[in-house]
Structure 1
Amino acid sequence: MNSLSGLDILIFVFYFILVAGYGYWVYNKKKKATISASHDYFLAEGSLTWWAIGASLIASNISAEQFIGMSGNGYFVGIAVAAYEWIAALALIIIAVWFMPVYLKNKIYTMPQFLKTRYNETVSLIMAIFWLFLYVFVNLTSILYLGAIAISGLIGPEYLHTVMIALAVFSLIITLGGMKVIGYTDVIQVAVLIIGGFATIYFALTIVSEKFGLGRDAMAGFKTLMDQAPDHFHMILDKPTAASSQEDVNKYLILPGIAMYFAGQWIVNLNYWGCNQYITQRALGADLDTARKGILFAGFLKLLMPIIVMLPGIAAYVLHKNGHLEGLRGMDDAYSAILGFLPSGLKGLAIAALTAAIVASLAGKLNSIGTIFTLDIYLKYFRKKPAADPHAPAMDAAPTPVYNEGEEKNMVWVGRMAALVSIVLAVVFEWKDLLGISGEGGFTFIQKYTGFISPGVFAMFILGMFWKRTTGAAAVAGLITGFVMAIFFNSFAVTVFGHETLMYTAFKNNDGVYEIPFLINMGWAFFITMAVMIGISLTGPKVNPKAFELDKSMFKLKPSVIAMIVFTLLILTALYVKFW
């Protein structure tokens, strides 16, 4: 089951040559562009179409975190984990309609730049450092580790570190070409991801139908999953009672029923898709109409993702429960266990799809790391910026400095070096799983630890965009409050207030320790942060001098955009009605 045929290897090599060759062609072609080297490398300014933006968003988002981590949660909990994907589609509508006009009108290129423009240098620097640590020690490490676990599970566990290094090198090669190369190679990556993903789930369902004596029938396999694991096909988990099993409690700790829709689920999605350099970077170089359509296209694709990344986990659960999948080590092995059943050739396509997801995500994060480090740290604190042209016309936002060719190349070089150092650090920390990702479960690890800064960050952004009274002092206080409150609710609230309060219900985890669901923690941390920021801002001027100018025309929608929104909302409604 762990061996690859010659056909598998041939398909994978073809995928590698296709992506690398196309990336090299795009890289050579972009040298003729008239835009600056740095803007081309960091933003691909004006050169990505709406479908390229949408594909790049999905290719960069869907990674080992989803293929392995979400598939593992599908094995453990079921379809409820699809909330992360389906609510994301709704969050992307909000981002496209209300967030992007603010970013583009104010010529925002990085998230720390937004914080400096709206608040002050202190807030910008703190968050630049926070984001760099988050990307390196949570995102890069977890994606590398989960990806290496999955692929080595197919070719042999002794190749774990070899696969880890290969993924790191491949993603670094793609990153060297800049955002334009990443954006357009992501179109191939997402095509491979979707084709390979759907092929995998089709064969997984036929395997289930065969094992239960129903022949090779994918629909029969799906019905078998629903019959054998009916508890895995409910979006809303019931709150545990005294009679609930420890397994049911553990599921609720990860996905706390309907309560999460009033707490952290929105913060997770709106912060990730709207206040995240790694994601917004793809649209920041485009015009508003292109950016909106690209983001909405990504929202539509998000509706499909649970089918690709979650159903294999449920299939693994049903097969394992009925003795057809022995030797499964844990939930993060569910996806690779299903891939082991695939026939020669398709296994190579499935590995190519998985590799495409991992490499695209790693490359996108590496480019964002290079962007933030170069534009928000290196240029500000390690290299004196050239003065802006005094004869240039006045602009609404701060004028962009003009750099000569040598300085432009130096900025790109610094960005590449930042990416190199970051991927090396990620490999070092995951060589022996020093961060303990395997113990948490990959998907939960990322969501939980990102949640320590999400409440404060999202509060800063949402108030900074839409409330003119918000001050820089409130932003600093909010950032600190959000972080402290997230830690408090995660580690100390139960000791101080007890395990049952009006704010939350804590449950005993596997270690017998009372724990509050982390999505509930995130919700309370956000609301308290908002209250602190509003209270501090009310002591300042009624209109902060750095407030953004907003007008109704910024938020007008074209008929084509409205049609895309309505289409997504109809599908989303149908999904929740079916699987509530």
Structure 2
Amino acid sequence: MKFAFLDYFVFISYAIVIVGVGLWVSRKKKGEERSTEDYFLAGKSLPWWAIGASLIAANISAEQFIGMSGSGFAIGLAIASYEWMAAITLLIVGKYFLPIFIKKGLYTIPEFIEKRFSTELKTILAIFWIALFIFVNLTSVLYLGAKALDTILGTGDGSLLIISIICLAVFAAGYSLWGGLSAVAWTDVVQVVLLIAGGLVTTFIALDAVAPDGGIINGLKHIYAVVPEKFSMILSKGEIIKPDGGDAWFDLPGLSVVIGGLWVANLYYWGFNQYIIQRTLAAKSLAESQKGIAFAAFLKLIIPFIVVVPGIVAYVLNAPGGDLEIGNMAPGFIAEDGSIANDNAAPWLINTMVPAGLKGLVVAALAAAIVSSLASMLNSTSTIFTMDIFKPYIKPDASQKQMVTTGRVTGVIALIIALIIAPQLGNLSQAFQFIQEYTGVVSPGILAVFLAGLFWKKATNKGAIIGVLLSIPIAMYFKIGPNGWSDAAIFVSLPFMNQMMITCILTFIVIVLVSQIQSNGKADDKAIELTPGLFNTPKAFNISAFVIMIICSFLYAFFW
């Protein structure tokens, strides 16, 4: 079932509304000059509901809509740990990280490193993040998003890939580069409503279709009865095998998901990722920012039901009785090499089940997820380059206008580079997976540096630099082992998440040892003062946090 006229009308209307809202909220009065605070931090005027919506819109992209549906097809609800654990992580960030960040008046995360450690370490990390945003984040979102649109709107043979990449890039740039964070955040409010509505439409239609007697509740009961193994949150080694033959436990290693390396990935992403944390720094106040964090945590609890459950439904429809065989698969699931293409779960459902009109809404939701993430990454790349590279090193006396212009130019250049690289990812899939995985090699060390800087007064600049540098060979030790390049007995085989946790702990130990030797046990001159009342949170945040933790506890207990 392809796009009908009504679908095109809905989709085009969405695009016009988003660009219109973005340009309208970022308009300026005649003769008014936009400041860096206006452009990069939305004038520090965002209310809690805009912050929460923008956090989710920046986070959810094709990776969730397509990738997590594919994981739901392959291993089931266990992949939802990335979402439900993130809800708890957001509460930690809101209570213990944000008070320090906002008190310091930060524009960027690297700026914290400068205030706590040194300009040299800040610059190193700023360059790393700019490269990461351009060469990994922007390119992957463009490619995966365009691939999804090619599958849904075209034939999936790549004929629409290039035009989809260009259209997504132009769409995101159309309002974000001109309006800055104001345009990004306020359009995100619209985008997240559309994103959740479109996702729920797909889920409801899929559940109604899979139930023998119809009905959403009946659909849930049916898939739970047919494939109960898909509703296990904690996987044991060898318990579930992916359709492509890989061990599911290696990605989600049992209880380590709850008490291990997933915390490293989540704390790094939600606490120290510029394009995520930037909208919390743009709040009217700390209390408003914390309420926004809590709102985002509530929204996180919903995400698995709109991205993972459809994947499980697709599995049930193609595997009667729970037995998946190539011969039973719909044609859309067969890859060129004859294997099962898990990531086609969401596109297959949209193409085969969603009726005209609603299909335009669902694809608009997918586009909203892609475009909002692109816009956020562009804005954050511009912010880091302008505030951490351009102003201190290139033009220290730059005016507000010059810095805003630099931010826009930086965004354009970053987008052009991503446009050039993105189409090549299909030909370099293994190399790209290599880049994605090895990004995780540096994140444990960076997390250890931030945690030491925030909460340990004796951490020194030398300790932080040596720690983050040694974290690379520590992480690489695990890569060389039986799952990597060598079978030598001195190397060990561990799931990637466990590798991250061990690397983070060992890096922290290095920071402690070096700092103790250097400072002789004295507090560092740039240590953060953890004053009484610093971590006090408003009543609304406390109530929300309690409810969210109860819900998460129930979910893990029920789907154990």
Please give the TM-score of this superposition, normalised by the length of structure 1: 0.88
User: CA-to-partner distance for each residue in 1:448-475, whole Å, 9 max, x for gaps?
Assistant: 3431221011101111001000010111
CA distance in 2, matches of 1:45, 1:79: 40
CA distance in 2, matches of 1:338, 1:112: 42
| Change over 3 Å in CA distance of 1:325–1:573 after alignment to 2 | same
* 1:249 to partner: Cα distance: 5.0
CA distance in 2, matches of 1:334, 1:270: 29
CA distance in 2, matches of 1:15, 1:25: 15
Which of these residues, 339, 343, 367, is aligned with residue 332 of structure 1? 343
Aligned residues: 539
* 1:81 to partner: Cα distance: 0.6
SS at match of 1:550: coil
Amino acid at match of 2:269: Y
* 1:36 to partner: Cα distance: 5.1
User: CA-to-partner distance for each residue in 1:138-180, whole Å, 9 max, x for gaps?
Assistant: 2111111111111111111311111111111111113211001
CA distance in 2, matches of 1:282, 1:86: 21
| Change over 3 Å in CA distance of 1:347–1:463 after alignment to 2 | same
Counterpart for residue 197 of structure 2:
195
CA distance in 2, matches of 1:245, 1:368: 36
Worse overlay, 530-539 or 216-225: 216-225
Amino acid at match of 1:282: R
* 1:531 to partner: Cα distance: 1.0
Task: Find out whether 1:485 has 2:486 as its counterpart.
Answer: no
Contact 1:138 / 1:449 at 8 angstroms: preserved in 2? no
Counterpart for residue 163 of structure 2:
162
SS at match of 1:453: helix
CA distance in 2, matches of 1:352, 1:91: 29
* 1:327 to partner: Cα distance: 3.0
Which of these residues, 418, 437, 444, is aligned with residue 448 of structure 1? 437
* 1:35 to partner: Cα distance: 8.8
Counterpart for residue 323 of structure 2:
none
CA distance in 2, matches of 1:479, 1:40: 34
Counterpart for residue 537 of structure 2:
557
Gaps of at least 5 residues in structure 1 are 387-402, 507-515
User: CA-to-partner distance for each residue in 1:473-530, whole Å, 9 max, x for gaps?
Assistant: 11111211222222221234768996899x96x3xxxxxxxxx321121111111111
CA distance in 1, matches of 2:33, 2:93: 27
Gaps of at least 5 residues in structure 2 are 321-327, 336-340
* 1:445 to partner: Cα distance: 7.2
Amino acid at match of 1:566: F
SS at match of 2:26: helix
* 1:263 to partner: Cα distance: 2.5
* 1:233 to partner: Cα distance: 0.7
| Change over 3 Å in CA distance of 1:246–1:221 after alignment to 2 | closer
SS at match of 1:452: helix
Contact 1:490 / 1:521 at 8 angstroms: preserved in 2? no
* 1:79 to partner: Cα distance: 0.6
Counterpart for residue 274 of structure 1:
271
Which of these residues, 523, 544, 559, is aligned with residue 543 of structure 1? 523
| Change over 3 Å in CA distance of 1:303–1:54 after alignment to 2 | same
Aligned ranges for residues 432-447 of structure 1 at < 5 Å?
Answer: 432-433=424-425, 436-437=428-429, 439=430
Counterpart for residue 206 of structure 2:
204
Amino acid at match of 1:12: F
Contact 1:99 / 1:274 at 8 angstroms: preserved in 2? yes
Aligned ranges for residues 306-325 of structure 1 at < 5 Å?
Answer: 306-322=304-320, 323=328, 325=330
Amino acid at match of 1:458: L
- Percentage identity across aligned positions? 41
Please give the TM-score of this superposition, normalised by the length of structure 2: 0.91
Counterpart for residue 173 of structure 2:
172
Counterpart for residue 325 of structure 2:
none
| Change over 3 Å in CA distance of 1:49–1:495 after alignment to 2 | closer
Contact 1:119 / 1:546 at 8 angstroms: preserved in 2? yes
Counterpart for residue 296 of structure 1:
294
Aligned ranges for residues 211-290 of structure 1 at < 5 Å?
Answer: 214-240=212-238, 249-286=246-283, 287-290=285-288
Contact 2:79 / 2:252 at 8 angstroms: preserved in 1? yes
Task: Find out whether 1:418 has 2:421 as its counterpart.
Answer: no
CA distance in 2, matches of 1:285, 1:279: 11
Contact 1:196 / 1:350 at 8 angstroms: preserved in 2? yes
Amino acid at match of 1:166: C
* 1:205 to partner: Cα distance: 1.1
Which of these residues, 499, 514, 519, is aligned with residue 521 of structure 1? 499
Aligned ranges for residues 13-412 of structure 1 at < 5 Å?
Answer: 13-28=12-27, 30-31=28-29, 37-156=35-154, 157=156, 158-176=159-177, 177-209=179-211, 214-240=212-238, 249-286=246-283, 287-322=285-320, 323=328, 325-328=330-333, 329=335, 330-341=341-352, 342-383=354-395, 385-386=396-397, 407-412=399-404
Counterpart for residue 400 of structure 1:
none
Counterpart for residue 389 of structure 1:
none
CA distance in 2, matches of 1:102, 1:435: 44
Amino acid at match of 1:252: W
CA distance in 2, matches of 1:259, 1:435: 34
CA distance in 2, matches of 1:206, 1:135: 40
| Change over 3 Å in CA distance of 1:334–1:436 after alignment to 2 | farther
User: CA-to-partner distance for each residue in 1:30-78, whole Å, 9 max, x for gaps?
Assistant: 5479895211111113211000000000000011111111111111111
| Change over 3 Å in CA distance of 1:268–1:154 after alignment to 2 | same
